[in-house]
Structure 1
Amino acid sequence: MKKITLLLGCIILIASSCSNKQAQSIPSYIEEPHSFSKPNEAIITHLDLDINVDFENEIINGKASYLIKNNKASQIILDSKFLTIENVQADGKDTTFSLGDFDEQLGNPLKIDINDDTKQITVFYKTTHKTEALQWLKPQQTADKKHPFLFTQGQAILTRTWIPIQDSPQVRITYNAKVQVPSQLMAVMSAENPKTKTQDGLYTFKMEQPISPYLIALAVGDIEYKAISDRTGIYAEKSMVEKAHYEFSDMENMVASAEALYGTYAWDQFDVIVLPPSFPFGGMENPRLTFATPTVIAGDKSLTSLIAHELAHSWSGNLVTNATWNDFWLNEGFTVYFEMRIMEALYGKDRANMLAHIGRQDLEEEIEGFKDTPDDTKLKLNLKDRNPDDGMNSIAYDKGYLFLRTLEETAGREKFDVFLKNYFKKHAFSTISTEEFVTYLNENLLEKHNITFNTNEWIYNSGIPDNQAIIASDKFETVEKTIQQFVKTNKVDKTLTKDWTVQEWVHFVRNFPEDIKTEHLAMIDEAFNLTNSNNSYIAMVWYEQAINHDYHGNDVDTKIEDFLIRVGRRWYVSTLYKAFKRNNKTDAALAIYNKARSNYHSVTANTIDDMLGFKQD
């Protein structure tokens, strides 16, 4: 009897152990306010994408096949928005599925029936004209004006509009893709990429490192590749290749500098594709292939901090990813800090401090803009029932940076660098919440070195704590004195600006006195021709001042309109439309916007629609 009891006990123990292993095969995931998926019940692990890019009808059609793990679930839920779902299979056989109620922000839950032992699902689908991630460009909207162009923008929750997927940053997958495009065009993705065009327009891709869905990216156009080093290079349209290659020629040095700081680059290749000017961001850190705006090509490498920023994301964001969009500061605050360290290593502390000082001014303006909603100035946000894009602002970037810089100055750079290097190594290819970061910070830096720091105040309170690091720049103090001298003497001395960097020029323009007269602006414009600046950043801040102070000289109104029609970078255009609105010139803004809107990606258009109260007919 004892033997039978013992044997029965062993059987029960083994069965319990197997059951526990199955239950533990799926890690524990945080409840995600921006995804219908329930990864604790069933989760995708690998994607095989097989699609055709149809420029004539401006749709993508094909199938997305997933390897899955399930926790004895009878259903797996994907996110889908503005997609036509044609059929779904489970392990190669048709299965039942349904689309739940539509949510304006989130789209529809795609509910797929599965069994306990289902290992694969396949969704046959096509995009629609409402798909928000895709921008289809006519030839005249490209640099070379010969062929059409397509690019995707998945961050934050737009990947679900071109692929049915569990669109949460805490879901990490590997993927392979087969993409058919017109034979005269090349396709590239956030994966291993071709360097030359194929004859038949068929391209295959592989991403072996697990990434979050918002980082799956595709671009299709008449593009070429030019290497900078064995692991860095440029994709661009033919007329842009040489310009981009020169502008970004320091990329290999940037990668080497980053590795010296925080460990080996984990993605094998770091390439950049220069997209048409409608791309809504400065850059997007898609692994192995950063997407970049042409507005950073100034001819003098003066705006390449953007490339340092996107490279830094290879550690903070791509390697260690925010678990939810409420934790977005973990991606961007760390990346701005890392960007500044790369810039300091390559170009010196003065330049890094000037960049940081401009960011500090941006932060001050952002906080003022949120005076009626102070909770939006917290690092840890609550974006439930809101678009996660609402958290993509200077708070995440520049308050996050200021928190880390203050922490570095408190702990000492040597200790802080060891902490960060270990942080990236410990959490590589995983996601992390703010609360998990705080625990790791306490255990591995603060308690370890007996350091007192007001972490919770920085993260969970609004505004900026009093112990903030002070970012000073002697060069900016000189710039401010130069402004005063020009205004006081009614005379411009060009010798004072002879060796200025772009950062000094931006600080100069942004810090004009509030009561500056139009004749002073005319005097400055005549001396430096800022209205016709070839540097998009300088032009943008100058145009903002022209709007603020009713300056209409040097045909600046036409230049502003041309700029807003040609450029789709959300930061730039929203700054100018905001200036129109702030100065009670909304009618003028809408007149331009009616001409420009069709050139903007949905990310930019949605922002300006809300800002100006624009309604489509």
Structure 2
Amino acid sequence: MILLVISSIICLQAYEIDVNTFSNYLDVQNRHLHLEWLLNMDKKYINATSSYSFQVVGRQINKISLDIYKLNIYSTYLKNGVLLPHTIDSPYADSDQGQRLNIQLDRTYYRGEYVELSIKYSIDSKSRAISFMTKEQTSTKTMPYLFSQCEDANCRALAPLQDTPAIKQTYTATIIYKDTEAKDVFMSADESKEQFKILNKPQDEATFTWKYKYFIQKVPIPSYLIAIVAGNIQKVPTSTGGRTFLVSEPDKLAAYTEELKEMEQFLLAIEQYIGPYTWGTYTLVIQPPSFPIGGMENPLLTFANPSIMTGTGSGLAVTIHEMAHSWFGNTITCVNWANMWINEGFTVFLERKASLIHYNIPDDIKLNAIIGNTSMYQDMLGYGLESNFSSLHPDTTGLNPDDSFSEIPYEKGYQFLNYLESIVGEQDFKMMLRAYLAQYKYQSIDQQEFQNFLLRYLQEQGVDDYSTKRYKILENWNRWVYSPGLPPVFVDFSTNKLTQALDYSNAYITADGKQPTNWQDYKTFLHSQKQIFLEDLFKKAENNQLKLTVVEQIDKDLKLTQENDFELKFRWFRAILTAGDKNRFMQIADFLGAVGRGKMVYPVYRALNKLDHDFAVQTFRSHETFYHPIARNNIINILGLKDSFIQ
């Protein structure tokens, strides 16, 4: 066993509890996890053993409770081989949060003692953390493919864990796979030459060769950042800097590498604002199209949907965002999902600061904030403006925290930080964020701790007019965090580029099905202006202002139905469906079968469902096996279907 450096124990009781874990993490906390996985990708099955090093932090314990979701648990036993009895129960009978695995220990353990135990289990296609893809679902169609997605509370479907962002642990892994099923495997950890003990060595067979890879993550991370990808994939550098790398299927490598050639510069721009990148290398995995989100910030192995690869670089804000998570989210983490803005709001703030440094287009930053604000407001309307899900502190007691996932922690959190920066001052706020990172490095905190640190920092630094600034910060703090609906203070992102985009959409409406004189202006628009134009068309469609004759003229002029940029295409399809257009159903169905990114397919399914429920269901039936379980379940809810059609 390798020597592990364990971070200092944090008194988690001082922070808000996590209502979305069934584990007894306030009494005992895992310090190190070792995974041994034998992959059977053709049969969509993983034979697994996980080993733990728990430390008692409460007064005493005689059992350990962990989170699981549809795992097949076979045995639990101590390091010395002594079997331990276990039971499984469900605290919420009707909840999809999973189950609780209770392990009865051999004796009472007291504060400071360690408990080292192992669990034998298996993962199958019921897992919502693992997507098993057939080779036909990949680009090269030569091997099956496997990838994980654990945020928010889905890592309990990957292994029995304390599935809460409050607990951080180091981890190691041994991955065993067939050379006929995967060319390579990567995890959110460094590749290691150290060969960890193999508990379940498979038997050799003549038709294939077993391959072994070893991984080590020396930095403590929360469970949701454990990640794996396997298949016909390759890893190449994206620059000569030696820090940034790309993983994808081999037929896409050349095009993706060309588009990502500025990845090292993105990293440098973030460092210029916030300080050094401390994780070593940075690898971006461009996943198959069924990956359900734009990007996932797994340390050392960020996952991204191929919809960000437009050929023009217009989708690379996702890359900068996921890089920025290396500071906010991965280094400092929210202590529970009610504080998700501690991850996402800070990351959007850093992303836009870095984008301004790299691209130096202030209007683009403002427009992206407006676009984000529009998406946030639509999500608020979906929950209800009085719902606590439209606040920065959603209550998900008894629910899967995925139910509260939206643009709200991203954009309302971003606006809150903009508001605080306006009070503190730009330079002082930047230095405060650097000190904040140094103070809470590799820890998990809540919003109250951030407030305490901000005020303490300003006082200790002797900033000008501290008393007035303290009053302004506290005056609206609770309204920003706890009040539902729109932010309590208006943040002005107006720009003449916004006016230009809105005037452009009005010109088409006024032309009433004819070509407006300024129709070619679209070619000179910023990408964000194009999004604003399409968002405004959607609003006009909701207000019955977008006629089908106007739709036909816009498509004739701008060829939006043939657009290769999915960020624009989904907005176009949502607008024209809302306007009642049934002439492009086949193109829309093809689109919904080509991308599985929730941000893009959910709005289109909602609009399609309102216009023609039967065709929406028919489209879903055609593509159901393509979608990731997370996306599939969300679409089922959108369409009002009780159960998946997959048996």
Structure 1 residue 284 corresponds to structure 2 residue 293: no
The Cα offsets for residues 182-234 of structure 1, whole Å up to 9 and x where unpaired, read as 21421100011489xx9852111110000000000000010111102301010
Match of 1:225 in 2: 235
Q: 2:364 aligns with which of 348, 351, 358?
A: 351
Identity within the alignment, %: 27
Any idea what SS the aligned residue of 1:593 has? helix
Offset from partner CA, 1:378-421 (integer Å, 9 cap, x none) = 11121101110122111111111111111112222111111111
1:175 alignment partner AA: Y
Structure 1 pair 80–369 and aligned structure 2 pair: CA distance change class (3 A): closer
Contact map agreement 2:12 2:166 (CA 8 A) in 1: no
Alignment of 1:145-164 (within 5 A): 145-164=141-160
**What is aligned with 1:521?**
551
Task: Give the aligned partner of residue 214 of structure 1.
Answer: 224
**Selected match of 2:603 from 555, 575, 586:** 575
Listed one character per residue, the Cα deviations across residues 413-440 of structure 1 (whole Å, up to 9, x for unaligned) are: 1111111111111111000012222222
Counterpart position of 2:211:
201
Q: 1:25 to 1:246 in 2, by over 3 A?
A: closer
| Residue from 472, 491, 495 that aligns with 2:520 | 495
User: Which amino acid in 2 is paired with 1:93?
Assistant: G
Q: Alpha-carbon deviation of 1:372? A: 5.8
Q: In structure 1, what is the Cα distance between the partners aligned to 2:316 and 2:289? A: 16
2:11 to 18, 27, 31: 27
Q: Which is further off, 61-70 or 274-283? A: 61-70
Cα distance in 2, alignment partners of residues 166 and 374 from structure 1: 29
Amino acid at match of 1:169: P
User: What per-residue deviation string (whole Å, max 9, x for no partner) do you get for residues 137-186 of structure 1?
Assistant: 11121111111100011111111112111111111000111101121421
**CA shift in 2, pair 1:244/1:517, >3 Å:** same
Structure 1 residue 118: Cα displacement: 4.8
Does 2:491 correspond to 1:469?
yes
Structure 1 letter corresponding to 2:121? Y
Distance 2:352 2:632 in 1: 30
CA contact (8 A) 1:95 1:112 kept: no
Match of 2:196 in 1: none
Q: For the structure 1 residues 441 and 129, does the alpha-carbon distance in structure 2 shift closer, same or farther, using more than 3 Å as the test?
A: same
Q: Which moved more, 1:401-410 or 1:314-323?
A: 401-410
Cα distance between partner residues in 2 of 1:445 and 1:548: 49
Name whichever of 283-292 and 31-40 sits farther off. Answer: 31-40
Aligned pair partner of 1:533 in 563, 570, 578: 563
RMSD across aligned positions (CA)? 2.0
Measured against aligned partners, the alpha-carbon deviations of 1:534-562 in whole angstroms (never above 9, x if no partner) come to 10111100110121112244xx2111101
Indicate the residue corresponding to 1:69 in structure 2: 55
1:175 pairs with one of 151, 166, 171: 171
Compared with structure 1, are the counterparts of its residues 527 and 544 closer, same or farther at alpha carbon in structure 2 (3 Å cutoff)? Answer: same
- Work out whether residues 259 and 313 of structure 2, in 8 Å CA contact, stay in contact via their aligned partners in 1: yes
**CA contact 1:380–1:434 (8 Å) conserved in 2:** no
TM-score (norm: length of structure 2): 0.88
Amino acid in the other structure paired with 1:526: K
TM-score normalized with structure 1 length:
0.92
Match of residue 82 from structure 2: 94
CA distance in 2, matches of 1:421, 1:523: 51
Structure 1 residue runs of 5 or longer lacking an equivalent are: 1-23
Q: How does 1:173-322 map to 2 (within 5 A)?
A: 173-184=169-180, 185=182, 186-193=184-191, 200-228=210-238, 229-322=241-334
Q: RCO higher in 1 or 2 (8 Å CA, sep ≥ 6)?
A: 2
Secondary structure, aligned partner of 1:179: strand
Q: Could you tell me whether the CA contact under 8 Å between 2:331 and 2:441 is conserved in 1? A: yes
* Paired letter, 1:470: D
Match of 1:135 among 131, 134, 158: 131
* Residues 23, 162 of structure 2: 8 Å contact kept: yes
Moved more, 447-456 or 268-277: 447-456
Alignment: residue pair count:
589
| Structure-2 change in CA distance of 1:247 and 1:517 (3 Å) | same
Distance in 2 separating the partners of 1:84 and 1:62: 10
**Residue 17 (structure 1) aligns with:** none
Q: Tell me how far apart the structure 1 counterparts of residues 10 and 265 of structure 2 sit (CA, whole Å).
A: 40
TM-superposed deviation, 1:40:
2.5
2:23·2:100 contact (CA, 8 Å) conserved in 1? yes
Q: CA deviation at 1:528?
A: 1.2
Partner SS state of residue 17, structure 2: coil
Amino acid in structure 2 at the alignment position of 1:218: I
* Alignment partners' CA distance in 2, 1:27 and 1:481: 55
Matched residue, 2:376: 363
The one-letter code matched in structure 2 to 1:545 is A
| Unpaired stretches in structure 2, ≥5 consecutive residues | 1-7, 194-207
For residues 377 and 162 of structure 1, the distance between their equivalents in structure 2, rounded to whole angstroms, comes to 30
Whether the 8 Å contact between 1:46 and 1:173 is mirrored in structure 2 is yes
Aligned to 1:485: 507
> Helix, strand or coil for the counterpart of 2:46?
strand
**Deviation per residue, 1:289-325 (Å, 9 max, x gap):** 1000001110011110000110111111111001011
1:489-516 CA-to-partner distances (Å, cap 9, x unmatched) read 3214443223223212111122123312
1:511 equivalent in alignment to 2:536 = yes
